[in-house]
A and B are shown apart, each in its own frame.
Chain A
Amino acid sequence: MLTFSNICHWYGATVVVDQISFQVKPGQVVALTGPSGSGKTTLLHIAAQLITPAQGTVENQFRQTAYMFQEPRLLPWRTTIDNIALGLKARRVSRTVRQQIAWNLAERLGLGAAHAHYPHQLSGGMRQRVALGRALAINADLLLMDEPFSALDVGRRRELQDLLLRLLAEYGLAVLFVSHDLAEAVRLGDELLVLSSAPGRIVYRWQQDCPPPTRDDRYIYATVAALLQTPSVMSSFGVHNHQGGGA
C-alpha cells in the first residue's frame, strides 16, 4: 500500500501541491490527472522519493517500486537487452539469469528483433517499450508512470496502452500514473483523482466499477464527456460550458 497523508509541497513561495491524501492499494491503478501546473509530476517524484515533501508523510509498503519517465531515459551505450536488465544488474542478479529475463520480456514487448539495437536505432515507441521492460524486469509490485506515452502518436499510444493493460493484469501490478489526458486516465485507471491547477488539490475522486477489458471506446468517450460536465472537473481543466448559460 502507498499512502499519501496531507502532503504539501512548495518551491520558494509557490505552493505546488496542497493537502493531498490518497492511497494506492495492491493491484490497483490510480490515475492522477489535471491541467499543467497541478503538481502531478511533483507528487510522483514524492512517491519515488526523488523529492522529500515539505509537509505530510508518505508511506510505501510495496516491496519494489519501478518508475517510467515521460522520456525513455535509456542508456545510449547499452543494447535493448542490457537496458531492460539494468535494474537486475543493480540488484546483483547473475548475467545469464538477467539476460534470460530480459530476453523473455523483450519477446513479450515485441522487441525480439531489436534485442541487440542501441536506443538511437529504435523508434520512440520502441524506446518507451524498452523503458517499460526495464520497469517490469525488477519484478516490482508498484509502478509509477509520468505520462510515458505522451510523446507518441495516437496509434502507437493506443498500442502501448493495450500492452500495458495486458501486462498489468498478468503481473498484478499496482500503478500510480500521471496523465493530462482524461481518456487515457479512464482507459487505464481504476480510480481517478482530478487535481486543480496551482496549487494542486484533489478536487474530484472517482472510482470506476467497470473493469479494464470492458472499457470500450463508447464507454470511454461517454465517461470523459460526463466527467467534463462535472463542475469541479470543468473548473480544474478550465473548460467552459458554451451551451449552458445563455441557452
Chain B
Amino acid sequence: MKGKANNGDRNTAWYARCVSLAGITLLLVLWHLASLVYNPVVLPSPWATVSVLVTLTIEGQVIPTALITTAHALGGFGLAALPGSMLGIAAGINLWVRWLVWPVVTIFQGIPPIAWIVLALLWFGMGGGTPVFTVAVATLPIVFVGALEGTRTVDHTLLEMAYVFRIPRRMLISDIYLPHLLSYLFPVIIAGLGIAWKVALMAELLAANSGIGAKLGMARINLDTAAAMAWIAVAVLLMFTFEYVVLHPLKRWLEPWRQPAPLMDMPVDRMNHVVRSELVR
C-alpha cells in the first residue's frame, strides 16, 4: 500500500514536470512565431539569441561577466545580511532597540532602489561600489524584518519545556533559538537574494561598467537586441543555477526536519491531532 502511494507521488511529479516543460516550449514557440512577424531589431528569434549566447560564451565573455554580477549581488547581500540579522535579533529581544530601529528601517524600505542608485552614483561614482551598496541597502530591511519576526515568534511552550527540563542557557540558544531563527531566515534569504540579483543588474546598467547589467546597457546602445536577449538569458540562468545548485542543497542540509517524508501509521490519531490544533488556533 505504501509502495502504491509512492508510485502515485512519482507519477504526479512526472506529470508536473511534463506540463511545466510544455509551458516553456509554448513560450519558445510563441517567441519564434512573433520573431517571424517582427524585424530582428525589435525581436530576434530564439535561435539568433542562442547563437549570440554561444558566440559570447566562446569569446569568454559570459563567465567573467556572470561572476562580476554574482560578486555584486552576493557582496551587497553579504554586507546587509550580518548587520541586518544582528539588528533584527536585537530588536526582537529588546523593546527599546525595536522602537528605535524599526521606524528607520521602515523609511529605508520605502526608498526605491532606483533612488539609492542615484545617491550611490554621486557617492561612489561609476564602478563596482555602486551596485554593491545599492544591493546592501535594498536587502537590509528584508533581513532585519525576518530576523526580528524569527526572534519574536520563538515558541514559548518550548521555552517552558526547556525550563522544566533544566536546559542551560547555552543549549537554549543552540537547540531552540538558532534552529527556529534559521527556519525564519531561510525564506528571507531566498527572497533577499532574488531581489539582490535584480537590483545588482539595475545598478550595473545605470552606474557601472562591468557585469551583466553593463553588457545589457552596451547592447542597448548598439541596438543589438539579440545580444540583449542573450544577456537576459544569462541573468535568468544564473539566478536559477544559484537557487538550485546552492540554496536548495543548503536548505536540505540545514533543515532536514522540514523535508516532507511519509507519515507513520495511525491516520485517525493524526486526524484528531490536526482537528485539535485547528480548534486551538
Contacts and interface: CB of A to CB of B under 8 A. Distances in A.
Physical interaction between A and B: yes
Interface of A: 48, 50, 65-67, 69, 71, 73, 75-79, 86-87, 89-91, 113-114, 117-126, 134, 138, 144, 151-153, 156
Contact of B269 (A89, A121, A152): A152
B165 interface: yes
A124 B161 contact: no
B165 A134 contact: yes
B273 to A, nearest CB: 4
A138 B161 CA distance: 14
Interface in B163-187: 163-168, 171, 175-176, 179-180, 183
Given A118-B257, A125-B269, A153-B269, 5 more contacts: A77-B179, A78-B175, A123-B263, A123-B267, A153-B272
A125 B267 CA distance: 11
A228 B51 CA distance: 87
Nearest to B270: A123
A151 B269 CA distance: 9
A123 B266 contact: yes
Contacts of B256: 118
Given A121-B261, A153-B272, A90 B266 contact: no
Nearest to B170: A90
Contacts of B161: 67, 69, 73
Closest 9 CB pairs of A and B: A124-B273, A123-B266, A118-B257, A77-B179, A67-B164, A73-B161, A90-B167, A77-B257, A87-B165
Nearest to B166: A90
A123 B273 contact: yes
B255 interface: yes
B266 A75 contact: no
A110 to B, nearest CB: 11
B163 A50 contact: yes
Contacts of A134: 165
A153 B268 contact: yes
Contact of B272 (A48, A138, A151): A151
A129 to B, nearest CB: 11
Contact of B157 (A65, A73, A114): A73
Nearest to B157: A73
A156 B255 CA distance: 30
B270 A138 contact: no
B257 A76 contact: yes
A50 B164 contact: yes
Interface of B: 157-158, 160-161, 163-168, 171, 175-176, 179-180, 183, 255-257, 261-270, 272-273, 276
The main secondary structure of chain B at its interface with chain A is helix
20 contacts: A48-B164, A69-B161, A73-B160, A86-B165, A87-B166, A89-B171, A90-B165, A90-B167, A90-B168, A114-B264, A120-B257, A121-B261, A121-B263, A123-B263, A123-B267, A124-B266, A124-B269, A124-B270, A153-B268, A156-B266
A52 B167 CA distance: 19
A125 B263 CA distance: 13
A87 to B, nearest CB: 5
Contact of B167 (A73, A78, A86, A113): A86
B160 to A, nearest CB: 6
Contact of B171 (A69, A77, A90): A90
B126 to A, nearest CB: 46
B268 A126 contact: no
Nearest to A119: B257
A25 B168 CA distance: 29
Given A50-B163, A50-B164, A121-B263, A151 B276 contact: yes
A4 B266 CA distance: 40
Contact of B257 (A78, A87, A124, A153): A78
A131 B261 CA distance: 21
Given A87-B165, A156-B266, A151 B157 contact: no
Nearest to A113: B264
Nearest to A124: B273
B261 A117 contact: yes
A75 B157 contact: no
A156 B271 CA distance: 13
The residue among B160, B267, B269 with the most chain A CB atoms within 10 A of its own CB is B269
Given A78-B175, A152-B269, A156-B269, A123 B264 contact: yes
